[in-house]
Amino acid sequence: MWRRRTLGLLFICIFVFILLLVRLMQIQLFKTEAFSKHNVNLLEESVKQRTQELVIDNGRGNFLDRNGEPLTHKKATVLVLFPFLKKTDWDVEKVADITGISQEALEASVESAKKPFAYGKPDPVELTSFQMNQINALKIPGVFAVEKKFERTEVPAEQLLGLTGENAKELKKRYPDKELSEKTLIGVSGLEESFDEFLLPEGKSKLVYHVDGGGAPLFGINVKYVDPANPFYPVNIRTTIDKTVQQKAEELVDHYQIKKGGLVLLDIEDNSVLALVSRPVMNKKDPYNGAGIVNQMLKQQIMGSVFKTVTAAAAIENNLDNPNVLFNCSQKINGKPERKYDYGMLNFTDSFARSCNRTFGELAKDLQKTDSNMLEQFASKLSLTGSVGWQGDIYHTSDFKQLPDEDKGRVFVSDEARKDANFAAMSGIGQHEVRGTPLSVANMMATIARGGQKEMVRTVSKIEYKNGTTMVDFPKKDLKGDTISPYTAMKLQKLLREVVVNPNGTGRWFKNLPYEAAGKSGTAETGKFADGKQLHNKWFAGYFPYNQPKYALVTVNLDVPDNEGGVNLLFADMVKMLYEVNH
């Protein structure tokens, strides 16, 4: 009996020992970099307990502008000091002579330090390459001059580029097969999110030294440089943004106190975003409180008379633009007398230049009698409906979208509205259910300027490996679907120029700009009120120079009273700024 009990106890002990052994093997051998459901990197955590480190580069990929200038970060050569210096006799006087920092300031900063740091608060003191070589030539343990990556506090085109953050649950959902630390940064909005898979870090670059429990050097004062040593990663995302133009555009938007709205500037030749500004400004400390994280340039808005460009295109291709036919612009769209905008009898061209609602309401009704889908067909031909951002198959990803959060435009919501003559009239002037994004409106202007050729809009031109070679290219691509004829495009170009050169045109303010401009204004009732006042969306969309189109520009101010918030001055100053940049 006692022998069976002894054997049973022995088996239990052996079984427990095997379990412990398996657990130990799991910890020490198999799951060292992704232990437990939290994917804890045991090697990193073990090292952290007996080391102090300064991260030089977090390893996540970077965003560059079209000229290779960093957008989300900057690299600066800084003086790095380790806290164990307080326990050694180091040549602080020579370091002070080279850097220009006082000896007392250097000693005080080291004395108060508990971990390695880049000297200077809140902004580290930047050193020249000559100073860096001099510092490192001293070979003082714990004193280094290195190029360190810093995240920018103010990022240009912030809503377009997006944010990163730690989210263990989302990380596991996105990358179930990857062994990543829970603290890995992932993109949570904008291009940071859409390009997240390419931006994931291979590892950090850092300076490390070993310490005992009291923070004293454990194995002497040798500092190690740890680097993933991968010549290909992290990658750089080469955007189409021009950093200089973007920063000037943001200054102008803020100068004109646009609280909600912004602008989109496209390069017509390669149909890419040169600048994109969205307001309100993002609050990085609490981005989801308020509308700051929303990119208003990718959200559908009521566009008002800008949509008359679509109605005009449909009228031209259906021979409804006879210059001898006059429209009664002393009447509103519903036939009642027009008190505020009493223009008298106008032909098609003058109606467009002066933005007569009556004319385009009547034309929309005539078009609807021919085909109830006519306005939608031409909105599609001019790229106002559907997505316009670049999408396609790349690398190992099918149907990749640079702008997955982009809204699609629309003309009608219901078939009932589509077949109603009064709703058709309201839609013909860009009211009722008509919606479009500022990005798609800019693309419409670029399409017209190119003679009717509609293309996808690029915000990124390529992904580059760390060594500068190309990983993925994003070539120019046509948008699928029917297009307007070259003849219609030519007629629209003349109409948009007439808006500016006509003495009574709604864009006459732009007649004497350094670049000849063409475009269309828009003022749309939003249905919202503030202090008893009807609020409006105010637009001007156009392109320039007129004869050799280079830029398409949309400026928009959302939810402002009728007597406030015009965008003409903003549009004009953008044209002047671009002229100055180019000359």
| Angle, CA 494 vertex, CA 489 and CA 500 arms, to 5° | 135
Inform me whether the pLDDT recorded for 80 exceeds 80. yes
pLDDT of residue 153: 82
The model's confidence at residue 219, banded by pLDDT at 50, 70 and 90, is very low
Lowest mean pLDDT of 13-17, 76-80, 85-89, name the range: 13-17
Q: How far apart are CA 359 and CA 305, in angstroms?
A: 12
Which residue among 109, 194, 305, 461 is the active-site one? 305
Residues 75-93 have a mean pLDDT of 89
Could you write out the three-class secondary structure of 208-247? EEEECCCCCECCCCCCEEECCCCCCCCCEEEECCCHHHHH
Q: How far apart are CA 27 and CA 25, in angstroms?
A: 5
398-455 pLDDT, tens digit per residue, is 899 999 999 999 999 999 899 999 999 999 999 999 999 999 999 999 999 999 999 9
Where do the H-state alpha helices sit in 374-516? 374-381, 415-418, 421-428, 438-449, 486-501
pLDDT of residue 509: 92
Task: Report residue 352 as tokens.
Answer: 């467009």
Contacts of 181 (CB under 8 A, 6+ apart): 39, 40, 41, 44
| Angle, CA 53 vertex, CA 47 and CA 58 arms, to 5° | 100
Domains and their CATH numbers in the chain: 49-239 (3.90.1310), 300-526 (3.40.710.10)
Residues 297-310 have a mean pLDDT of 97
Between 377 and 285, the higher pLDDT residue: 377
Coil/strand/helix, residue 406: coil
Q: Do you know the residue count of the chain?
A: 583
Terminus-to-terminus CA distance in the chain, angstroms?
Answer: 103
The pTM assigned to this predicted structure is 0.88
pLDDT of residue 206: 84
Lowest mean pLDDT of 2-11, 116-125, 245-254, 315-324, name the range: 2-11
Coil/strand/helix, residue 104: helix
State which of 86-95, 106-115, 375-384 shows the largest mean pLDDT: 375-384
Between 52 and 415, the higher pLDDT residue: 415
* Closest of 523, 511, 515 to residue 560, by C-alpha: 523
Tell me the C-alpha to C-alpha distance, in Å, between residue 131 and each of 12, 54, 97, 345, 505: 67, 20, 10, 75, 61
Active site residue 205: no
Tell me the C-alpha to C-alpha distance, in Å, between residue 434 and each of 106, 244, 307, 390, 414: 64, 35, 8, 23, 12
* pLDDT above 70 as % of the chain: 92
Task: Report residue 433 as tokens.
Answer: 């259910």
Q: How far apart are CA 295 and CA 405, in angstroms?
A: 9
Contacts of 241 (CB under 8 A, 6+ apart): 65, 66, 71, 156, 157, 160, 273, 274, 275, 276, 459
